[in-house]
Structure 1
Amino acid sequence: MSDPHPHRSRVVVITGASGGIGRASARMFAARGDRVALLARGTTGLEAAAAEIRAGGGTALLISVDTADHGALEAAADQVEAELGPIDVWVNDAFTSVFARFVDITPEEFDRVTQVTYLGFVNGTRTALTRMLPRDRGIIVQVGSALAHRGIPLQSAYCGAKHAMWGFHESLLTELRHDRTHVQVTSVAMPGVNTPQFTWVLSKLPMKAQPVPPFYQPEVAARGVLHAADHPERRAYWVGAATAGTILANRVAGGLLDRYLAKTGIGSQQTDQRRPAEHPTNLWEPADGPDGHDYGAHGPFDDRALAHSPQQWASQHRRALGLGAGLAAAAAVAARRAA
């Protein structure tokens, strides 16, 4: 059962809220009156995100926390409920990654990506359910990826974590439905997005990393997060034609996609600019720590990122489109009979 009043003021927790999709989502939730708890490891980005929300008249609580640390996340949730009230919506978005061939990723690096990008979602979900299930209400949104359904080169740690998240999501979804609880969980599969990750993710590539084209602005992804939080009755949403195309193509022609990505996947994730020897890396420590740089929601590709997704609109309004198509077909049949 979805929330009967999706636009009443709610308490929303967002992990990974200091940049990218999390930051864009936080601004949108706050702009409509929700009280937003911003969770991330860094401090500079969190403080800037909170300042943006407060400048617009919204309510923001910032908490510096590593989602890989379940105990710290529990303490953060206690603080949220003490200061803002019972948590209505929990958005799992925090992640990290390594751009490199698998053989060039150390075991410690692979473990760290898995701890944040997969187990961080598990920890966040457990923390949310501990509070939501006794109240028999609440919504959890997992910010997923097309790469939860189709692996690509240079991102084995991230793809593995996102595939694990999807399996976890399906398992949990069936358990919640079996228990007939009103707590709901949904997922949003994202395309490539112009976020700061391409500036601060650990990279071992010769050239600067970029999202696989075509890619979108974080506000497009954020609109998908808000829609999922308002309509959690669907198990999953897809954002962007590239996401839909990738998932569907892999279902029907995975072998062909293997060969295509083997030829194009490595080059398409790199620009024509050399990667500097020294660059920010957020795998072990936040790139926006004390006195650090605020990276904001956008990455360095504003001139190429798409600001709208017709597929997203169509996906969110598919019932109306289906009804319209049915009415049009009925009208056509009636016209032919009249003729």
Structure 2
Amino acid sequence: MSSENAKKKSKGCVIITGASAGVGRACARRFAKNGYDVGLIARGKEGLEAAVKEAVEFGVNAAYYEADVANYEEVESAALFFQEKLGFVIFWINNAMTSVFSPVRKMEPQEYKRVTDVTYLGQVHGALVALKLMNEQNKGSIVFVGSALAYRGIPLQSAYCAAKHATKGFVDSLRTELLHDKSNINISMVQLPALNTTQFGFVKTRLPKKPRPMGKIYQPEVAAEAILYAAENTPREIKVGVSTIKTIIGNKIAPWYADRVLAKSGIEGQQTNEPEDSNRPNNLWKPIPGDHGAHGAFNDQALVSSTVLRLRMHGKLIIWIAISIIIVVFVLIFL
């Protein structure tokens, strides 16, 4: 565990799970840059230490706690530690995940259980703990990190897709209860596209070639920007990237067509041309040692921004600009 003294007034404390690498690591930097103290949860000590070091460079307090989100008691202990060190938890970001790239017929029952325990129940555990903390002052925001795959299952990722589907169902149920109770605690779900994160070099895989993100790829900082916006503005849901919107809408209109497209291209589309080492380490059961940062191996293919996200974040401003232009044009022409 580690912490640093704040150099400027904090906006509040945010807890981020899965914070040692990938999207969680990008979130740690983005929230710290925006003036929030950050409490970081993950299993990998080296990544957590590096994430804390990066965060305090923005002049905020940062602390880490080694915990496996599949274990409720560990998540609860982490939260109490952060509450004591950093104060009231205003935001909780449920981001931790794990996966297995494998055909269903080759999956083991314990692998399904592990992915479910981390990727689905990890978010449930986070929500239960966050609600306990936030109920004291009846305020706060919980962000659930989802995926286009919360709406559409794809080949080779059955465990992950099922976990994201389950998370969406949980979020819908929780939201109605909070509305019924007239609670001031808000929840949002951010549905992400394919991202250039470290997971493709970490996850357990049975593929003959190295796994890769399928379709249009975005940098994890795009996801972090969306998650910060969701925490601060509490929309019901944010769909990041045009590929996410196409996937969700397309599956609603013609799921049978998506079945055929994915059957034809979904296997090869999730593999590079490089052979995979069947004995390489994976992070399904324990973290891979070292600091791995936020980015994966696809920097040259990844987009650094999302037009869809910018429109969502600045929609009102764009509408007012458009109205102003129309008024000016009208005045110039007719007056």
Which category describes the TM-score, using the shorter chain as reference length? over 0.9
Amino acid corresponding to residue 129 of structure 1 in structure 2: L
Quote the Cα distance in structure 2 between the aligned partners of 1:334 and 1:161: 55
- Specify the alignment match of 1:4 in structure 2: none
Give the secondary structure class of the aligned counterpart of 1:219.
Answer: helix
Amino acid corresponding to residue 44 of structure 2 in structure 1: G
- Specify the alignment match of 1:283 in structure 2: 284
Quote the Cα distance in structure 2 between the aligned partners of 1:154 and 1:33: 40
- Specify the alignment match of 2:302 in structure 1: 305
Quote the Cα distance in structure 2 between the aligned partners of 1:277 and 1:247: 33
1:191 to 193, 200, 210: 193
- After TM superposition, where is structure 1 displaced by more than 2 Å over at least 4 residues in a row? 54-58, 317-336
Q: Which residues in structure 2 correspond to 1:6-17 (within 5 Å)?
A: 9-17=11-19
Give the secondary structure class of the aligned counterpart of 1:135.
Answer: coil
Amino acid corresponding to residue 270 of structure 1 in structure 2: Q
Quote the Cα distance in structure 2 between the aligned partners of 1:17 and 1:188: 16
- Specify the alignment match of 1:200 in structure 2: 202
Segments of 5+ residues of structure 1 without an aligned counterpart are 1-6
Segments of 5+ residues of structure 2 without an aligned counterpart are 1-8
Q: How far 1:56 moved relative to its partner? A: 3.8
Q: How far 1:26 moved relative to its partner? A: 0.4
1:171-196 CA deviation, whole Å, 9 max, x = no partner? 11111111111100001100000000
Q: How far 1:59 moved relative to its partner? A: 1.6
Q: How far 1:32 moved relative to its partner? A: 2.2
Amino acid corresponding to residue 301 of structure 2 in structure 1: R
Q: How far 1:224 moved relative to its partner? A: 0.5
- Specify the alignment match of 1:161 in structure 2: 163
Q: Which residues in structure 2 correspond to 1:184-263 (within 5 Å)?
A: 184-232=186-234, 234-263=235-264
Q: How far 1:254 moved relative to its partner? A: 1.1
- Specify the alignment match of 1:36 in structure 2: 38
1:101 to 90, 93, 103: 103
Q: Which residues in structure 2 correspond to 1:45-56 (within 5 Å)?
A: 45-56=47-58
Q: Which residues in structure 2 correspond to 1:79-98 (within 5 Å)?
A: 79-98=81-100
**Taking every aligned residue pair, what percent have the same amino acid on both sides?**
44
Quote the Cα distance in structure 2 between the aligned partners of 1:331 and 1:103: 64
CA contact (8 A) 2:35 2:58 kept: no
Is 2:172 the counterpart of 1:170? yes
Is 2:70 the counterpart of 1:68? yes
Quote the Cα distance in structure 1 between the aligned partners of 2:144 and 2:32: 19
State the superposition RMSD in angstroms. 1.9
Q: How far 1:53 moved relative to its partner? A: 1.6
Quote the Cα distance in structure 2 between the aligned partners of 1:30 and 1:331: 41
Give the secondary structure class of the aligned counterpart of 1:52.
Answer: helix
CA contact (8 A) 2:219 2:304 kept: yes
Q: How far 1:320 moved relative to its partner? A: 3.5
Amino acid corresponding to residue 94 of structure 1 in structure 2: A
- Specify the alignment match of 1:294 in structure 2: 291
Quote the Cα distance in structure 2 between the aligned partners of 1:20 and 1:242: 20
Q: How far 1:334 moved relative to its partner? A: 9.1
> CA 1:330–1:257 in structure 2 vs 1: closer, same or farther (change >3 Å)?
farther
